[in-house]
Amino acid sequence: MTLALIILALLQVCDVLSTIRVLEAGGYERNPFVAKLMDRFGRFWWVPKILLAAGAAALIWWAGAVLLIWVLNAVYAAVVVNNLRQV
């Protein structure tokens, strides 16, 4: 479980950094929820995104849903790869 959470945290950071690169290259955020965070919080959009992800991970951990964390890891890995393809 600990490894899955560490990987999820690292993928969250990679998602933020790769999203910033996409935006700097003229791209846009496809996730409507994150796009709203960007509108509301400007360049600090990543703070509530990371906090919400941490809260969700804590709830999943508390529920003992290890498989769900690995599924999220796969999803976020795909998101990061997609972002990196765009820059």
Range of the domain at 18: 10-86
The total of structural domains in the chain comes to 1
Closest listed residue to residue 56, CA positions, set 80, 76, 35, 84:
76
Longest dimension (CA), the chain: 40
16-75, pLDDT tens digit by residue? 999 999 999 999 999 999 999 999 999 999 999 999 999 999 999 999 999 999 999 999
4-19, pLDDT tens digit by residue? 999 999 999 999 999 9
How confident is the model at residue 1, as a pLDDT? 78
Q: Sign (positive/negative) of CA torsion 35, 21, 46, 71?
A: positive
Please identify which residue in the block is written with the tokens 């599924």: 71
In a domain, 79, yes or no: yes
In a domain, 2, yes or no: no
What is the pTM for the complete model shown? 0.91
In a domain, 23, yes or no: yes
In a domain, 21, yes or no: yes
Residue 59 CB burial class (10 angstroms; 0-12, 13-18, ≥19): exposed
Mean pLDDT on 67-85:
97
